[in-house]
């Protein structure tokens, strides 16, 4: 690809990564992970190039990792550098907080931080794929819709659609995409999603679900996962746009009610078939967790509760916490950020009415 540049209004630009429906992969992706797709190669080669050239806040080596004993299979990773050196989160007061051009935003990033711009064939819209300079794991990037539009951190159907397609462009079951709302550990009030590789299975891929609105692909994720949430599942390319609209309708409802939320997209088992132990991942699971709003990081905790932690991936800040953390203590940290049972039940009734 050609070197990056900046356009006249300061928005980073990049060589386009064009793709079509033929590049979206549903079938044949399973654990253990196999070959890399064209998307995987472009992302990982560009990401490693920027790591070698020193564009990150720290050099990410192989992270100490252990699966916590217990029924969940929570994956703990020691990432001291991220805990100590990441950019301080912006001061957030509301889920509806307006974009502030005076604060850090993605029009200010260095051109070299942009890997490429995702562009679906036949569309003029682009989504920048940008390195996260304080990475959680290998290949940690941000998906940023046109930064010049100066959109606040409120999920849109178009941004989510790109995130879903990014997961389908990868042939790695460990490539996931997620979103943190304001009040749910989003550190920058400028629309973006996270994408990263973790070569570990997570409990939300296979946890059983209760059908709420199966025709709409909506299920209740409860047992076998770190936190209760609402799960959407689909397995056909033709369902992509409708699913993005449905999920964004749900998250918009939450934002309007002032309910903070995290979202996670992963390849996973079909909730209708019960083959949860199989290696194959025939469709996408999109999980939305409503939770208590928390403005500012809880530095005293072993980890902050955001999209990856709710999915079962726990980046730990200190060696002591990494060595002593148990499944029970991890789940207790997560539960402190959740809605009460009564609040969640009421929200469930409202969402079923909204989508049904």
Other beta carbons within 10 angstroms of residue 115's beta carbon come to 25
Is the distance from CB of 310 to CB of 227 less than 8 angstroms? yes
pLDDT attached to residue 261: 98
C-alpha span between 316 and 63 (Å, rounded) = 10
pLDDT attached to residue 104: 93
Question: Minimal CA–CA distance to 253: which of 145, 151, 143, 352?
Answer: 352
For Cα atoms 67, 319, 85, give the angle at the middle one, nearest 5 degrees: 110
Q: Which two tokens stand for residue 300?
A: 């005293």
Instruction: Work out whether strand 141-145 and strand 127-131 pair parallel, antiparallel, or are unpaired.
Output: antiparallel
Residues 6+ apart with CB under 8 A from 22: none
Q: Is 73 left (phi over 0), alpha (psi -120 to 50) or beta?
A: left
pLDDT attached to residue 128: 98
C-alpha span between 232 and 214 (Å, rounded) = 9
Is the distance from CB of 284 to CB of 270 less than 8 angstroms? no
pLDDT attached to residue 300: 61
pLDDT < 50 stretches in the chain: 1-5, 7-9
pLDDT attached to residue 1: 43
Active site residues: 192
In the numeric block, the tokens 């009421």 are attached to 346
Give the pTM: 0.94
pLDDT attached to residue 298: 52
**CA within 13 Å, CB half, 251:** 31
C-alpha span between 307 and 325 (Å, rounded) = 19
The secondary structure of 7-51 as a DSSP string is -TTS-EE--EEEE-GGG---TT-BSSP----HHHHHHHHHHHHHH
C-alpha span between 233 and 247 (Å, rounded) = 11
The secondary structure of 245-300 as a DSSP string is HHHHHHHHHHHHHT-EEEEEEEEE--TTT--TT-SB--EEEEEEEEE--B-S--TT
Which CATH fold topology does 5-355 show?
HIT family, subunit A (3.30.428)
Domain boundary assignment for the chain = 5-355
Is the distance from CB of 135 to CB of 60 less than 8 angstroms? yes
């Amino acid at each position: 690809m050609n070197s990056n540049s900046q356009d006249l209004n300061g928005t980073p630009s990049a060589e386009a990564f064009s793709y079509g429906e033929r590049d979206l992969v549903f079938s044949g992706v399973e654990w253990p992970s196999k070959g890399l797709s064209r998307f995987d190669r472009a992302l990982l080669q560009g990401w490693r190039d920027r790591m070698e050239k020193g564009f990150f806040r720290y050099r990410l080596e192989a992270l100490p990792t252990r699966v916590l004993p217990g029924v969940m299979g929570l994956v703990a990773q020691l990432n001291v550098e991220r805990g100590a050196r990441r950019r301080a989160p912006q001061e957030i007061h509301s889920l509806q907080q307006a974009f502030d051009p005076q604060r850090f935003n993605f029009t200010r990033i260095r051109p070299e931080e942009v890997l490429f711009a995702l562009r679906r064939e036949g569309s003029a819209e682009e989504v920048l794929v940008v390195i996260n300079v304080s990475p959680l794991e290998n290949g940690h990037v941000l998906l940023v819709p046109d930064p010049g539009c100066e959109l606040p951190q409120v999920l849109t159907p178009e941004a989510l659609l790109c995130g879903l397609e990014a997961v389908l462009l990868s042939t790695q079951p460990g490539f996931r995409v997620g979103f943190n709302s304001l009040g749910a550990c989003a550190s920058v009030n400028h629309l973006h999603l996270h994408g990263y590789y973790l070569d570990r299975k997570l409990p939300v891929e296979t946890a059983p679900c209760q059908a709420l609105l199966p025709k709409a692909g909506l299920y209740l994720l409860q047992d076998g996962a770190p936190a209760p949430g609402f799960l959407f599942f689909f397995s056909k390319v033709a369902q992509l746009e409708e699913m993005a609209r449905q999920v964004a309708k749900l998250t918009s409802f939450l934002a309007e009610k002032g309910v903070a939320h995290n979202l996670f997209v992963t390849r996973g088992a079909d909730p209708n078939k019960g083959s949860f132990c199989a290696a194959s991942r025939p469709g996408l699971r999109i999980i939305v967790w409503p939770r208590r709003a928390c403005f500012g990081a809880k530095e005293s905790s072993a980890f902050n509760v955001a999209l990856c932690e709710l999915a079962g991936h726990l980046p730990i800040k200190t060696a002591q916490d990494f060595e002593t953390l148990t499944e029970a203590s991890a789940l207790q940290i997560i539960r402190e950020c959740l809605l009460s049972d009564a609040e969640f039940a009421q929200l469930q009734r409202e969402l079923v009415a909204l989508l049904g």
